[in-house]
Amino acid sequence: MKVSHLAETLIGSEIVKLGNEIKDRIRNGERIYNFTIGDFDSSVFPIPKEFEEEIIDAYKHHYTTYPPAEGILELRQSVSAFIKEREGLEYKPSEILIASGGRPLIYSLYRAIVDRGDKVVYAVPSWNNNHYVHFNEGQHVVVETRPENNFMPTAEELIPLIKGANLLALCSPLNPAGTAFTKEGLEKICDAVIAENKTRKEGEKKLFLMFDQMYWTLTFAGTEHYNPISLRPEMRDVTIFIDGISKVFASTGVRVGWAMGPEIIISKMKAILSHVGAWAPMAEQKATAKYLLQTENINKYLSHFKSEINYRLEKIYEGFKQLKADGYNVDVIAPQGAIYLTIKIDLTGKHTADGKTLVAQEDVSAYILSEARLAVVPFFAFGSSKNSPWYRLSVGTCKKEEIEEMLDLLRGALAKLQ
């Protein structure tokens, strides 16, 4: 049956597909360490108790009607106060847009800026930029990042590509790598954007920056989060932030996100979403508006939550470092932020005990799933090359007692190879 060109050519989310396949296998009785999806096991990481109570209370007060297209005023005011207190950024409610998580905000931002054929510059691995460019029939301009730079793009890599581009998509801390921009690194990129925009004529479309900071509250090991506006105030007119509660409060299913940026861009995104209807539910908006102002409760929650995430990241990091030290073909990058660990499992060319050769990286993925019962997401699902030996490991569903079990099984699987 013939359908639209977009429908014919669009690829669904590889990460969601893989995560669903693993969940199906677990439901069918398989024992798998499922470190794929960027989500949380709510029995391990529940949302804050006070936040949960606010949600229940909002429903009891029958906040079940349509919210305004831009989000309720109370929530936009609370977001403004929350961001000012914790990041030092000042945005008026009219410069803030609420939606059901980050995805519709990213979609509407692309729609508001990118026309057919427009150049969009983004790095890989990164989350779904390749698909959003495809949605808009934009021109893919891709930087394949390197492990020696913690898979973060550099100004030196970006400068040759941003000439004539209309959107630069950045994320920090990075999904999938769990790494972050340094102050100097982000300053250089901002300076490059500013310099490029000074070459644009009046009336010509600017080079805009989408800065996805959904994980900015989750930084570890002395890592500090930096944003473009604090470093270079001149970036304010061309920067749109993507943010929300999904990761900071382990509330991916509560679906409240926000964008912050120039009022003209925010108003266009609002108009687009008014036709899509991707609003955060009214009750959740009311609850979030109240909870974001509970500074003491939030600080207490984050202190415990971050220590638990960091413990898991560090323990698995140490385990992979030991495996590498013992001579196995693995590697790992020190965790800096988010809920992710970047691991390398480079086994192509190895032979299994039954004589099979691991020819391609997908054979490696299948082998570690079969022999070590370890499910992780290959970087090619984030736009990297098919033969990349790097993976994202998510600890959002990880139980502490699973860590040694998983590492022991992985060691055994590696030891079987020749």
- pLDDT of 170 reads 98
At residue 217, does pLDDT exceed 90?
yes
Give the confidence band of 385 by pLDDT, cuts at 50, 70, 90: very high
Round to whole Å and give the CA distance between 278 and 106.
12
Round to whole Å and give the CA distance between 179 and 347.
24
Report pLDDT digits (tens) over 295-350.
999 999 999 999 999 999 999 999 999 999 999 999 999 999 999 999 999 999 99
Round to whole Å and give the CA distance between 125 and 343.
13
Round to whole Å and give the CA distance between 152 and 147.
8
Round to whole Å and give the CA distance between 254 and 222.
30
Domains in the chain (CATH in brackets) are 5-45+299-416 (3.90.1150.10), 49-294 (3.40.640.10)
- pLDDT of 28 reads 85
Average pLDDT, the chain: 96
- pLDDT of 63 reads 98
- pLDDT of 16 reads 77
- pLDDT of 372 reads 95
Contacts of 400 (CB under 8 A, 6+ apart): 311, 312, 315
Between 31 and 23, the more confident residue is: 31
3-7, 194-198, 250-254: which has the minimum mean pLDDT? 3-7
Report pLDDT digits (tens) over 25-65.
888 888 999 999 899 999 999 999 999 999 999 999 999 99
List, in sequence order, the alpha helices (H) in 114-225. Answer: 129-135, 155-158, 183-197
